[in-house]
Amino acid sequence: MKRAVVSIIVIFILLTAGCLGAINRESTTTPKTSPPKEPSINGTETGIFPNRKTPLEQNGSDYSFLASRYPELADELEKNEIISRFYPGAGYTVRVFARIAGKRPLTRAELEILEITLRANNCYFSRNIPPERSYYAVSFSQERPVESIPYVECPNFTSRLPFVYYEGRGFQYYPVTASNWAYHYLKTGQIEDAKALLDEMLPLMETINTSKGKAGVFWAYFPPPEGSPVPWTSSFSQGMLAGLYAWLYNETGNVTYLNAPKLLFNSFYLPLERGGFVENTEYGIWFLEYPYRPDFLVLNGHIITMKGLWLYYRFTGDERALELFNEGVKSVKRALPDCDTGDWSLYSVNGPPAREDYHRLHVKLLLWLYARTGEETFLEYAERWNDYLEKRGLETEDLNALLQQVRHAP
């Protein structure tokens, strides 16, 4: 602990003293960080590094590379370079975006994501040691869904977006978690809070030209624990955010919140190789929470995506969304026997046993499906999986109360 406190003090002194390390604008010292290995970056540095003449792959760094191309980010990059010497995970995003920028210019949305991720990591790690566990969500705003979410106060950075810590990757903006927060706001009637969060997300949506028109995608720029090409997207966030923006349109009448969900819905027609997340399986179509593994059929992610489609259909009347929802209903019914061990539910089809919190979520999602479709199969499995809790000596869910809740909710 003493070492961690000393590290934070040293970081704070360096930042406030203006000792900005290897990429200080006045410095011509070769940075100690390794240059990008893939892809190779050719050419000489320009802009804020006029004194350097050698190619970046010989004496550059990810920091100097990005700062030379995007000088508006130089200050945050300088701070992050110092912090990453103490906490290497804080610089993960820099490495990711440097490799993308080595292949092509960063888009407007990518620059926004890079900047807010830098600022979040710089703020947190200049005042705190790394969290003890991965998937640790924090807020950089006092206005957050529940007070149990830690609030991190920064003098020059406020954001309504959730940032999630992953060991070795620092804090990341994660569209899936953002969709959970926005859903909480809308279902509890906190419309202004939902609007603030979803407004902040809009500039982070990428628009892709497809043969069927434009599609909107919220990319993630870090791999989940199992590994994935970067960037990637999830059916979970794409479906839910399509439904949530449509819901916000219904609440406000602002046409901006109608255009966004239409673009997001169009992403359901993207092929997998272009960032799509809909797979044809032996059970029917499946909405992939982790598209980099088309055989990894996550049950809760599939149903939550369907929940987003249902909301989108309800608030727009788009029959195509209802068709996709109904196809998803068929695939869930076919897959449920392969999600049941006889005494517990599985996280994914023929996959590992679900954690208790996911098992309980399965019960709730099946009740939601039953309330929307009237399919007795969903009620039967919800009751069966609830009984599994009792057999293990665990508290059961109140199915009648849950049914009343979902019947009166959007």
pLDDT (tens digit per residue) in 76-114: 999 999 999 999 999 999 999 999 999 999 999 999 999
Query: What one-letter code names the amino acid at 319?
Result: E
Of the CA atoms within 13 Å of residue 28, those in its CB half-sphere come to 6
What is the Cα–Cα distance from 284 to 273, expressed in whole angstroms? 19
Q: 287 Cβ partners below 8 Å, 6+ apart?
A: 235, 236, 239, 277, 278, 301, 302, 305, 306, 328
What domains lie within the chain, and their CATH numbers?
Answer: 1-128 (no CATH), 174-339 (1.50.10.20)
Per-residue model confidence (pLDDT) at position 7 = 55
What is the Cα–Cα distance from 361 to 262, expressed in whole angstroms? 28
In Å, what is the CA distance from 226 to each residue of 27, 121, 168, 220?
39, 23, 13, 14
Confidence of residue 224 (pLDDT cuts 50, 70, 90): low
Per-residue model confidence (pLDDT) at position 130 = 94
3-state secondary structure string, the chain?
CHHHHHHHHHHHHHHHHCCCHHHCCCCCCCCCCCCCCCCCCCCECCCCCCCCCCEHHHHCCHHHHHHHHCHHHHHHHHHHHHHHHHCHHHHHHHHHHHHHHHHCCCCHHHHHHHHHHHHHHHHHHCCCCCCCCCCEEEEECCCCCCCCCCECCCCCCCEEEEEEEECCCEEEECHHHHHHHHHHHHHCCCHHHHHHHHHHHHHHCEEEEECCEEEEECCECCCCCCCCCCCECCHHHHHHHHHHHHHHHHHHCCCHHHHHHHHHHHHHHCCHHHCCCEEEECCEEEECCCCCCCCCCEHHHHHHHHHHHHHHHHHHCCHHHHHHHHHHHHHHHHHHHHHECCCCEECECCCCECCHHHHHHHHHHHHHHHHHHCCHHHHHHHHHHHHHHHHCCCCCCCHHHHHHHHHHCC
What is the Cα–Cα distance from 93 to 133, expressed in whole angstroms? 19
Confidence of residue 352 (pLDDT cuts 50, 70, 90): very high
Cβ pair 159, 116 in contact under 8 A:
yes
Mean pLDDT of 349-354: 98
Per-residue model confidence (pLDDT) at position 316 = 97
Residue 36 has pLDDT above 80, yes or no: no
Contacts 24+ apart (CB under 8 A), 51-54: 52/28
pLDDT (tens digit per residue) in 130-184: 999 999 999 999 999 999 999 999 988 999 999 999 999 999 999 999 999 999 9
Q: Which of 50-64, 108-122, 187-201, 233-247 has the lowest mean pLDDT?
A: 50-64
Both tokens assigned to 73: 């980010």
pTM comes to 0.86
Confidence of residue 410 (pLDDT cuts 50, 70, 90): confident
pLDDT (tens digit per residue) in 261-271: 999 999 999 99
Q: 153 Cβ partners below 8 Å, 6+ apart?
A: none
pLDDT (tens digit per residue) in 5-16: 545 544 544 454
